[in-house]
C-alpha cells in the first residue's frame, strides 16, 4: 500500500463512536446481522453509521476465523473493511449472496427513500445484485408517502447540471436545491463523480414520479428505491 499504515489511515475506528446515535441498539442489530453470515459468503455492506457498526462486528468475527468477503457502497466502508482485515471485492466481477443497508423512509408499499449519505448509486447496484436484502429501519422511518420527512436525493452528471435542475424545477416540486459540501466550496461530489440535487415533494414520490425523474437527461440515479423485495429489521 505504498507505505501507508492501515492502522492509522484513513479511519480511526475509535472515533467512529462519536458519530453513532443509538449505539447500543445498533450494536444489537449488528450482532443479529453478523450471526447470519456463513463462511464463503459475499456480503454487500451498506452505508451510514449502522453499517459501520456492522463492519466493526464483522471485523471481530473475521479475526475469530469467519471467512467472508464484502462488496461495499462507499469509500469510507471500503477503507474501514480494509483496516479490519475484511476482504473487499469489486462490485462488477462478483455475485452477492446477501446485503444489508438502512433506509431514511419506508412507505406502506415498502418503497424506500435512501441516499441521504450520498452513496445511492452504489447502494442501488449492490441492492439490485444481491440475492437477498436486509433493510434496517425502525418505526421512526415509516411514512405515509416517500418524501414526507426528507428530500429525495437526485444524482446528476455535472456537465448536465443546469439543464437537469431546470427540468426538475418544472415538475412542480416544493423545492430543488444543489447539496453543498462542508470543508470545501461548491457541491458535494459522489463516489461516481456526480453532484446531488435534494428535492422536496411533500405530496409524495411514487413509481411514476421516480420514472419521470430518471428519464431526465443528465440524471444518473436517485434515492427512490421502488419495487424491491427485502426483509426488514427494526
Task: Quote the CA–CA distance of 86 and 191 in Å, as a whole number.
Answer: 21
Task: Quote the CA–CA distance of 86 and 62 in Å, as a whole number.
Answer: 7
Active site residue 191: no
* Nearest of 103, 70, 63, 67 to residue 84 by alpha carbon: 63
Q: Is the peptide bond before 10 cis (omega within 30 degrees of 0)?
A: yes
Task: Quote the CA–CA distance of 42 and 37 in Å, as a whole number.
Answer: 9
Q: How far apart are the first and last CA of the chain?
A: 39
**Active-site entry in 57, 76, 78, 123:** 123
* Parallel/antiparallel/unpaired status of strands 130-136 and 231-233: parallel
Task: Quote the CA–CA distance of 226 and 105 in Å, as a whole number.
Answer: 12
Tell me phi and psi for residue 79, to 5 degrees.
-60, -45
Residues 6+ away with beta carbon under 8 Å from 210? 222, 224, 226
- List, by residue number, the catalytic residues: 123
Amino acid at each position: 500500500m505504498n507505505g501507508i499504515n492501515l492502522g492509522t489511515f484513513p479511519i480511526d475506528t475509535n472515533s467512529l463512536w462519536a458519530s453513532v446515535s443509538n449505539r447500543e441498539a445498533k450494536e444489537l442489530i449488528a450482532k443479529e446481522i453478523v450471526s447470519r453470515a456463513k463462511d464463503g459468503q459475499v456480503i454487500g455492506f451498506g452505508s451510514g453509521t449502522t453499517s459501520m457498526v456492522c463492519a466493526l462486528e464483522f471485523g471481530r468475527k473475521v479475526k475469530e476465523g469467519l471467512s467472508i468477503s464484502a462488496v461495499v457502497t462507499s469509500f469510507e466502508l471500503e477503507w474501514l473493511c480494509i483496516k479490519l482485515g475484511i476482504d473487499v471485492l469489486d462490485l462488477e466481477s462478483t455475485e452477492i449472496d446477501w446485503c444489508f443497508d438502512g433506509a431514511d423512509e419506508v412507505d406502506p408499499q415498502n418503497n424506500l427513500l435512501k441516499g441521504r449519505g450520498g452513496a445511492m448509486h452504489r447502494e442501488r447496484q449492490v441492492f439490485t445484485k444481491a440475492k437477498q436484502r436486509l433493510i434496517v429501519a425502525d418505526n421512526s422511518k415509516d411514512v405515509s408517502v416517500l418524501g414526507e420527512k426528507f428530500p429525495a436525493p437526485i444524482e446528476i452528471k455535472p456537465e448536465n447540471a443546469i439543464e437537469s435542475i431546470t427540468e426538475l424545477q418544472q415538475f412542480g416540486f416544493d423545492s430543488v436545491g444543489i447539496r453543498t459540501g462542508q470543508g470545501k466550496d461548491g457541491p458535494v461530489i459522489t463516489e461516481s463523480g456526480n453532484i446531488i440535487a435534494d428535492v422536496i415533494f411533500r405530496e409524495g414520490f411514487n413509481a411514476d414520479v421516480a420514472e419521470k425523474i430518471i428519464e431526465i437527461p443528465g440524471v444518473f440515479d436517485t434515492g427512490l428505491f421502488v419495487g424491491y423485495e427485502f426483509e426488514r429489521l427494526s
